[in-house]
């Protein structure tokens, strides 16, 4: 089937979708830009309003577009991606996208572990752990609250690091090479303190990754990472 025949056999709503996606990919409309109204697309393609509405509705469901009541239809914000297969520093993830990483330290101290946390580290209750809370920014926008607990036996100088220059993950990879990891992902409502750090509404949906890493036969780190649900997704592949 030649290109012309293939195009003719493509449903018109799909051709409208393909057109809109291609224009966004080409940079004609960037994140936050308004796209042509449904009435304009009706005139351009010579089809019914119902057909155009289906195309726009499906792209909205796919989070390519976003609709604002009374304002129009806009190019949706891109969802920042992080890999689950390879554990990388968030700074590396952001720089790989050609964006600027920055961070803000909210907490860095030594604390005693409660029973549940000590159990995750396979340590006795009341054992001393290092605790850090850091907000990571991409192009000035907060995209992650990293709440991390660290085994002092794995990273004895954890509290002495300058986390405006190095990420906790990068430091741990240097001093406690990864042996294994387990993780879970869930959607949770943002508690007030997390919402404030991410500049979102309390109770807003967040994508939350909880990960436990091991090194040299012991649990090295337990971390919970909060991300604004509308801006983030995790990806991965198996080879």
Please report the pLDDT score of residue 8 as a whole number.
Answer: 57
If asked whether residues 15 and 129 sit together in one domain, one would say no
The rounded percent of the chain whose pLDDT value lies above 90 is: 55
SS3 percent helix, strand, coil of the chain, rounded to 5, is: 30, 35, 35
Please report the pLDDT score of residue 9 as a whole number.
Answer: 64
Query: Angle at the Cα of 49 (from 45 to 52), degrees rounded to 5?
Result: 60
Could you tell me the CATH number of the domain that includes residue 60?
1.10.10.10
If asked whether residues 114 and 223 sit together in one domain, one would say yes
If asked whether residues 141 and 174 sit together in one domain, one would say yes
Domain hosting 55: range is 3-75
Please report the pLDDT score of residue 171 as a whole number.
Answer: 93
If asked whether residues 29 and 120 sit together in one domain, one would say no
- Cα torsion angle, 194, 114, 210, 136, sign: positive
Span 145-191, pLDDT tens digits: 999 999 999 999 999 999 999 999 989 988 988 878 888 888 899 99
Mean pLDDT throughout 215-238? 76
If asked whether residues 52 and 91 sit together in one domain, one would say no
If asked whether residues 116 and 187 sit together in one domain, one would say yes
Q: Per-residue pLDDT for 1 more than 50?
A: no
In total, how many domains does the chain have?
2
Residue 19's CB is within 10 A of a number of other CB atoms, namely 15
Please report the pLDDT score of residue 68 as a whole number.
Answer: 84
> Could you tell me the end-to-end alpha-carbon distance of the chain, in angstroms, rounded to an integer?
33
Q: Per-residue pLDDT for 228 more than 70?
A: yes
């Amino acid at each position: 089937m030649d290109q012309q025949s293939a195009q003719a056999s493509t449903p018109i709503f799909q051709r409208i979708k393909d057109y809109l996606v291609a224009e966004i990919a080409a940079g004609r409309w960037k994140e936050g830009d308004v796209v042509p109204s449904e009435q304009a697309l009706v005139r351009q393609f010579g089809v019914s309003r119902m057909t155009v509405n289906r195309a726009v509705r499906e792209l909205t469901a796919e989070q390519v577009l976003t609709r604002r009541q009374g304002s129009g239809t806009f190019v949706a914000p891109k969802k920042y991606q992080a890999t689950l297969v390879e554990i990388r520093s968030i700074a590396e993830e952001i720089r790989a996208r050609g964006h600027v990483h920055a961070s803000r330290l909210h907490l860095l101290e030594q604390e005693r572990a409660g029973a549940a946390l000590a159990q995750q580290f396979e340590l006795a209750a009341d054992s001393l752990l290092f605790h850090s809370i850091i907000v990571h920014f991409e192009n000035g926008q907060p995209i992650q609250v990293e709440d991390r607990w660290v085994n002092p036996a794995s990273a004895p100088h954890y509290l002495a690091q300058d986390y405006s220059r190095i990420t906790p993950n990068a430091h741990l990879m240097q001093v406690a090479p990864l042996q294994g990891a387990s993780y879970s992902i869930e959607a949770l409502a943002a508690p007030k303190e997390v919402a404030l750090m991410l500049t979102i509404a309390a109770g807003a949906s967040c994508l939350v990754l909880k990960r436990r890493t091991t090194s040299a036969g012991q649990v090295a780190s337990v971390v919970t990472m909060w991300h604004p649900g509308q801006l983030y997704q995790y990806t991965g592949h198996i080879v």
